[in-house]
Amino acid sequence: MAKKIKSNIWTMSLSLFLFSAVMAGALGYVYSITKDPIDQAKAKKVNDAIAVVVPAFDNKPTEEVIVVEPGKLEMYPAKKGDELVGVAVKTYTDKAFSGEFSIMVGFLPDGTINNTAVLDQKETPGLGAKMGEPGFKDQFNKMNPAKNKITVKKDGGEVDAITASTITSRAYCDAIARAYNEFKKQFVK
């Protein structure tokens, strides 16, 4: 018969240390396997959003990215030949009902919004999550933040809020304002 190991603080600590080391190794292995596919999926999502929010282009905007806040606020110039046709701005807000969300806003060279797309959000399904539906997001198309008041009508602006989701609607406007402010700094002369 095998001798029973006496339980004390040292044997329990050793057992816990060995278990933790094995689990940390397993977690590191899983991370190394999944890191590249996750990064590729994120890059595809950004590339797809750029294609949706700016007019047709023939350059690779992700290779000319202007990073203002890494992963949060980034600008992707879209060109046809040498001519700038638009700028896709990945932007965010932390004023949403469920925390932070990010969107892509496409500006034409004069600052007019071409289109917007939701990248990541955790808003309430059936309420704030409606921000990605055409009935809400398409109202921003052809607006120019220099000429239009991009705030909800309840606050004196021109934007129809999502029913029962004024906080989300205000947050969407906040994200667009953040994007426009950076766009203006970099591209408006």
- Give residue-wise pLDDT tens across range 118-154: 998 888 787 878 898 999 999 999 999 999 999 999 9
> Region 99-104: what's the mean pLDDT?
91
The pLDDT of residue 1 is 63
Quickly state the pLDDT bin for 94 (edges 50, 70, 90).
Answer: very high
Q: Across the chain, what does the average pLDDT equal?
A: 92
Could you tell me how far CA 7 lies from the centroid of its own chain? 51
Which of 189 and 41 is assigned the larger pLDDT?
41
Mean pLDDT over residues 150-161, rounded? 94
| pLDDT for the residue numbered 97 | 86
3-class secondary structure, 91: strand
pLDDT at position 90, please? 97
Torsion of CA 25, 29, 32, 33, to 10 degrees: -170
pLDDT of residue 136: 94
Average pLDDT of the residues in 15-28: 95
Question: Is the predicted pLDDT of residue 108 greater than 90, yes or no?
Answer: yes
